[in-house]
């Protein structure tokens, strides 16, 4: 139990201080790049960043990869702004677009921890670990 608590605390600290995985990344430019920059700049206003991400998702044509990254970025900013329910929705949307996105599972796990939904948080953390697992090389 103690190991689970320690792992959960580390996971929460990592996910709330910086985006998980390779996020933020957006190649398309425009407001999606502004959204990504807001995630990287911890001093930026999270609410403004959320608005930029929302505008990008609504109005900017982008690839599916960029749409997923922008959705994760918005979830990260929502979490930073204290909107855990909105963040949870964004991370779940990203997972529905790409069920193999370990970063989305990791961020959703941290958000579920914040919502005190520990069983679901553990399941998502386990999934993030499985998705990042490297196959062993056979000689």
- Per the domain annotation, does 63 fall within a domain? yes
Tally of CB atoms within 10 A around 64: 9
Label residue 40 left, alpha or beta by phi (over 0 means left) and psi (-120 to 50 means alpha): alpha
Give residue-wise pLDDT tens across range 68-78.
999 999 999 99
Does 138 or 66 have the greater pLDDT score? 66
- Per the domain annotation, does 88 fall within a domain? yes
Q: Which helix (H) or strand (E) holds 49?
A: helix 46-59
Q: Could you tell me the two tokens for 3? A: 């190991």
Half-sphere exposure of residue 124: CA atoms within 13 angstroms, side-chain side: 27
**Number of domains composing the chain:** 1
Domain residues for the domain of 25 are: 2-132
Global pTM? 0.78
Whichever domain contains 125, its CATH number is 1.25.40.10
Model confidence band, residue 87 (pLDDT cutoffs 50, 70, 90): very high
**Is pLDDT above 50 for 29?**
yes
**Is pLDDT above 50 for 21?**
no
**Is pLDDT above 60 for 20?**
no
- Per the domain annotation, does 137 fall within a domain? no
Does 7 or 56 have the greater pLDDT score? 56
Give residue-wise pLDDT tens across range 99-121.
999 999 999 999 999 999 999 99
- Per the domain annotation, does 138 fall within a domain? no
């Amino acid at each position: 139990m103690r190991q689970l608590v320690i792992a959960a605390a580390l996971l929460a600290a990592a996910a709330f201080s910086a985006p998980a995985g390779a996020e933020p990344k957006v190649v398309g430019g425009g407001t999606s790049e502004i959204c990504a920059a807001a995630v990287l700049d911890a001093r930026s206003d999270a609410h403004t960043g959320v608005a930029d991400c929302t505008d990008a998702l609504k109005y900017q044509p982008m690839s599916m990869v960029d749409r997923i990254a922008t959705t994760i970025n918005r979830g990260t900013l929502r979490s930073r702004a204290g909107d855990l329910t909105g963040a949870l929705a964004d991370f779940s949307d990203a997972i529905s677009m790409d069920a193999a996105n370990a970063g989305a599972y990791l961020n959703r796990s941290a958000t579920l921890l914040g919502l005190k939904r520990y069983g679901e948080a553990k399941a998502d953390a386990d999934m993030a670990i499985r998705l990042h697992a490297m196959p062993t090389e056979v000689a």
